[in-house]
C-alpha cells in the first residue's frame, strides 16, 4: 500500500512542476494535469509495479495515459519517480525535446505514445490479454478522461475486456466533468456513467479522486471480482489545488502568467 | 492467396509461440484450421477494428508478432489512426492482412472494394506494403513477414488465383521479381494483376512487341533500381494495378520517374481512375473500368519510341 503522506507530497510536487512547465512553454491543459495529479501520485506511489532502475523490465505493469494531453503532469510524475532528472522537465515543448505536449514513448518511463483520444483502453486490453495468456502477473493501468469516453473505440474495448475476463486491467476515469467546449453534461452527457460500465460487466469503484486513501484502497482491491476488469470513476475537480483554476473551462487552454504562477504555486504548496 | 497465407502462417506459428492471429470476425472457413491447431495463438476480437489494432499494439509491446485479418478497407481505413499512432509510430511488428484487395468483392459494392488501401498504407512512415502476385508470392511473403521488424500491410486477393511461378521463387521484401523478359515495354504489376500483365505480354509478343514483366509485390519500400533499369532499357514503362492510380503503385513509380534527369522511357499508369463509380457486377465486368492494357501499350508505344 502506498504511504499516503508520501503520495500527497508527490502530488504537490507534480502540481508545482506541471504549473511551471505549462507556464514556461505557454502550453494548454493545466486543468487536466491538476485534476489527475492525485491519481498519478498514488499510482506511482507503490501501486504500479514499475522500477525506474529497470524501466524496460518485461514483467513491469504497463501504464497508459490515454488522455495524452495530460503530458505535463505525467512527465512530472515520472521525473519525481526517478525515471529521469527533474531538471529535464524544463525542456517541455522546447525545440529538440522528447517531452512533447502529448505523451511520447521517447520519454523514459512512458510505454505508449498517446494524444488522440480513445486509443488507450485498447492498448491496455492487448497488454492485459498478453499477460494473461503468458500466465504472467503483469497488469495494465489506463487513465482515461471523461470527454474521451465520447469516442466509440473506448466502448469497443469496454465490451472486449470483461468478455475475455481481463481482471488485470484497471481503467481510471479522471471524471472532472469538463471537456473542450463546456461541461460534460452540456456537450455529451455520460450519465448514468457508473451504470454504463456495470452494464458492460465491469467492476466499478466510485471514489473521490483527490482522496489518496480512497484511491489507494480502490487500487488495492484489484481484482475485486475474479474475471472482471475494474474501472475507478475518480470524481475530480478540474484545476484542483489552485482556487482560481478550479472548475474553470478556461484553464483547459490558458497558461498562467508569472503572477498567476506564483499565486498558484503558493496555493499548491499550502494544499493539505 | 488467402489459402497460401493461412497455411504459411500456420506452419510458421507452430514453432513460434510469439506469433498470434487476430481477426475482427471475418475469415469464416479460412481461419478455422489455424484456430483448431493453435487456439492459444488465435483470437476473434469481434467486429471492432479500432480495438483490434490497439490491442495488436499492446500485444506487440509484450513481445508478440501480431497478424490481424480482415477485409480490404476495414483494417486500414476504419482504424487508420490506430495503425498510424499505436502501431507504426511505436514500430511494432504488427502485420495488417487484408483479403479482397482491389475489386475482388466486385458485386458486393463500393464499400467492399479495396481500391485506395495501398495508397493509404504507403502514406505511413515505416510501413511496408506488400501485394503478392500469386499464391507462391503470398506464401513467401507470409514467411518473410514472420521475421521482419516493424509494421507491414499484406494485401491479398481471394482464394483460387492461378499460380504464376512454376518453380521456387527468389522472394525478398523490397525486390521486384522479373517474371518475363522483353526489350520494348516494361509492365510493372502489383498484386493479382500479374496474371493479366503476363497474358497481355504474351499477346504483345505475338504482335512483335517484347514486354518485360516485373512483379512489384512490394510497393513500399519500392525497388527503385528495377524501375530505373526499366526506364533506361525499355521504351515504355506501364504500372499495372487494381487500385486507384492516383495513390497506389502508379503514384509510387511516378515519384521515381519524376526524379530521373535526362532521357528515359515514357511512362503510363494502368488501373482505376481517381473517380467515384456506382458500377456493380462480376470481377471481369468491374475490371473493364480500367480499360484494356494492350490498347494502352499500342497507343503509347509509337510515341515512346520516338522519344516521348
> In terms of Cα–Cα distance, which of A13, A22, A19 is closest to A40?
A13
Which of B20, B48, B51 should one mutate to test binding to chain A, selecting the residue with the greatest count of A CBs within 10 A? Answer: B51
Give the number of domains in chain A: 1
**Rounded distance between C-alpha atoms, residue A48 and residue A219, angstroms:** 9
Above 80 in pLDDT, residue B58?
yes
> How far off is chain B from A126, nearest CA to CA, in Å?
4
Q: How far is A68 from chain B (nearest CA, A)?
A: 12
Shortest distance, CA B78 to any CA of chain A (angstroms): 11
Distance from C-alpha of A124 to C-alpha of A168, rounded to nearest angstrom: 9
Q: Which residue has the cell 493501468?
A: A141
With cut-offs at 50, 70 and 90, classify the pLDDT of residue B194: very high
- A-chain CB neighbours of B81 within 8 Å are 116, 119
Report pLDDT for B72.
87
* Bridge partners, B172 (sequence order): B175
Look at residue A271 in the predicted model and tell me its pLDDT. Answer: 52
Task: Say what the pLDDT of residue A270 is.
Answer: 86
Q: A154: domain range?
A: 4-270
Q: Indicate the helix (H) or strand (E) that contains A10.
A: helix A4-25
Name the residue of chain A whose CA is nearest to B17's CA. A134
pLDDT in tens, chain A (272 residues): 899 999 999 999 999 999 999 999 999 999 999 999 999 999 999 999 999 999 999 999 999 999 999 999 999 999 999 999 999 999 999 999 999 999 999 999 999 999 999 999 999 999 999 999 999 999 999 999 999 999 999 999 999 999 999 999 999 999 999 999 999 999 999 999 999 999 999 999 999 999 999 999 999 999 999 999 999 999 999 999 999 999 999 998 999 999 999 999 999 998 54
Span B282-291, mean pLDDT?
97
Q: What's the pLDDT band for B306 if we cut at 50, 70, 90?
A: confident
First to last CA, chain A: 20
- The grid coordinates listed for B1 are 492467396
Report chain A's C-alpha Rg in angstroms: 17
Helices of type H across chain A: 4-25, 30-42, 71-80, 120-134, 152-163, 184-187, 193-199, 212-220, 258-270
Interface test with chain B among A123, A140, A158, by most B beta carbons within 10 Å = A123
CB contact under 8 A, B90 and A133: no
Q: What are phi and psi of A3, to 5 degrees?
A: -85, 110
The radius of gyration computed from the CA coordinates of chain B, to the nearest angstrom, equals 19
Strand, coil or helix: B271: strand
Q: How far apart are CA B44 and CA B269, in angstroms?
A: 39
Query: CA-CA distance, B130 to B135, in Å (whole number)?
Result: 13
SS3 state at A179? strand
Q: CB–CB of A113 and B90 under 8 A?
A: yes
Distance CA B254, CA B245 (A): 10
Domains of chain B listed by start with CATH number: 2-155 (3.40.50.970), 177-305 (3.40.50.920)
Report the pLDDT averaged over residues B174-197.
98
Contact B62 A127 (CB under 8 A): yes
Contacts of A56 (CB under 8 A, 6+ apart): none
A112's grid cell: 505508449
CB count, 10 Å around CB of B63? 11
Distance CA(B157)–CA(B168), nearest Å, equals 21
Residue B159 clears pLDDT 90, i.e. is over it: no
State the best of B40, B52, B62, B64 to mutate against chain A, taking most chain A CBs within 10 Å: B62
DSSP state at residue A104: -
Which residue from A minimizes the CA distance to B66? A126
pLDDT confidence of residue A272: 42
User: How far out from the chain centre does Cα A140 lie?
Assistant: 13
Q: Contact A126/B61, CB-based, under 8 Å?
A: yes
- Domain with residue A90: its CATH number is 3.40.50.970
Is residue B57 within 8 Å of B94, Cβ to Cβ? yes
Q: Give CA–CA dist A227/B81, Å, rounded.
A: 30
Question: Measured between beta carbons, which residues in chain A are less than 8 angstroms from residue B53?
Answer: 122
What's the rounded mean pLDDT across residues B14-37? 96
Give the H/E segment covering residue B6: helix B2-14
Amino acid at each position: 500500500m502506498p504511504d499516503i503522506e508520501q503520495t500527497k507530497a508527490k502530488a504537490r510536487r507534480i502540481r508545482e512542476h506541471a504549473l511551471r512547465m505549462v507556464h514556461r512553454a505557454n502550453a494548454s491543459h493545466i486543468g487536466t494535469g491538476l485534476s489527475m495529479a492525485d491519481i498519478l501520485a498514488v499510482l506511482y506511489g507503490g501501486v504500479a509495479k514499475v522500477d525506474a532502475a529497470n524501466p524496460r523490465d518485461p514483467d513491469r505493469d504497463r501504464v497508459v495515459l490515454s488522455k495524452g494531453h495530460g503530458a505535463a503532469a505525467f512527465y512530472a510524475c515520472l521525473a519525481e519517480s526517478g525515471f529521469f532528472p527533474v531538471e529535464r522537465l524544463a525542456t517541455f515543448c522546447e525545440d529538440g525535446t522528447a517531452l512533447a505536449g502529448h505523451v511520447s514513448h521517447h520519454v523514459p518511463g512512458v510505454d505508449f505514445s498517446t494524444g488522440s483520444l480513445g486509443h488507450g483502453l485498447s492498448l491496455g486490453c492487448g497488454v492485459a490479454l498478453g499477460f494473461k495468456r503468458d500466465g504472467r502477473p503483469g497488469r495494465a493501468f489506463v487513465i482515461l478522461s471523461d470527454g474521451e469516453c465520447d469516442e466509440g473505440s473506448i466502448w469497443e474495448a469496454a465490451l472486449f475486456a470483461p468478455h475475455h475476463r481481463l481482471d488485470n486491467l484497471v481503467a481510471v476515469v479522471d471524471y472532472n466533468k469538463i471537456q473542450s467546449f463546456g461541461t460534460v453534461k452540456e456537450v455529451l452527457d455520460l450519465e448514468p456513467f457508473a451504470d454504463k460500465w456495470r452494464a458492460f460487466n465491469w467492476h466499478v469503484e466510485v471514489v473521490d479522486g483527490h482522496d489518496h486513501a480512497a484511491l489507494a484502497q480502490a487500487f488495492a482491491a484489484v481484482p475485486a471480482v475474479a474475471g472482471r476488469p475494474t474501472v475507478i470513476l475518480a470524481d475530480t475537480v478540474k484545476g484542483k489545488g489552485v482556487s482560481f483554476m478550479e472548475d474553470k473551462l478556461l484553464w483547459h487552454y490558458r497558461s498562467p502568467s508569472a503572477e498567476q504562477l506564483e499565486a498558484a504555486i503558493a496555493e499548491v504548496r499550502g494544499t493539505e | 492467396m488467402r489459402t497460401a497465407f493461412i497455411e504459411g502462417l500456420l506452419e510458421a506459428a507452430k514453432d513460434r509461440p510469439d506469433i498470434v492471429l487476430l481477426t475482427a470476425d471475418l475469415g469464416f472457413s479460412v481461419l478455422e484450421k489455424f484456430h483448431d491447431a493453435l487456439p492459444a495463438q488465435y483470437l476473434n476480437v469481434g467486429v471492432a477494428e479500432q480495438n483490434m489494432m490497439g490491442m495488436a499494439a499492446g500485444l506487440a509491446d509484450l513481445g508478440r508478432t501480431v497478424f490481424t485479418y480482415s477485409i480490404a478497407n476495414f483494417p486500414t481505413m476504419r482504424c487508420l489512426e490506430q495503425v498510424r499512432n499505436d502501431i507504426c509510430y511505436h514500430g511494432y511488428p504488427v502485420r495488417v492482412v487484408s483479403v479482397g484487395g482491389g475489386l475482388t468483392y466486385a458485386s458486393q459494392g463500393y464499400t467492399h472494394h479495396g481500391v485506395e488501401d495501398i495508397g493509404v498504407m504507403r502514406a505511413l512512415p515505416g510501413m511496408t506494403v506488400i501485394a503478392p502476385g500469386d499464391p507462391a508470392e503470398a506464401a513467401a511473403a507470409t514467411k518473410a513477414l514472420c521475421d521482419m521488424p516493424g509494421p507491414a500491410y499484406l494485401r491479398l486477393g481471394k482464394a483460387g488465383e492461378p499460380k504464376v511461378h512454376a518453380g521456387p521463387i527468389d522472394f525478398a521484401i523490397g525486390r521486384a521479381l522479373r517474371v518475363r523478359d522483353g526489350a520494348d515495354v516494361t509492365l510493372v504489376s502489383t498484386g493479382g494483376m500479374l496474371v493479366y500483365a503476363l497474358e497481355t505480354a504474351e499477346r504483345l509478343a505475338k504482335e512483335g512487341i517484347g514486354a518485360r514483366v516485373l512483379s512489384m509485390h512490394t510497393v513500399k519500400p519500392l525497388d527503385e533500381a528495377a524501375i530505373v533499369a526499366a526506364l533506361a532499357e525499355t521504351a515504355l514503362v506501364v504500372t499495372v494495378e487494381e487500385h486507384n492510380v492516383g495513390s497506389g503503385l502508379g503514384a509510387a513509380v511516378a515519384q521515381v520517374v519524376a526524379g530521373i534527369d535526362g532521357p528515359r522511357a515514357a511512362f503510363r499508369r494502368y488501373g482505376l481512375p481517381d473517380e467515384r463509380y456506382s458500377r456493380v457486377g462480376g470481377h471481369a465486368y468491374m475490371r473493364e473500368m480500367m480499360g484494356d492494357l494492350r490498347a494502352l501499350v499500342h497507343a503509347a508505344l509509337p510515341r515512346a519510341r520516338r522519344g516521348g
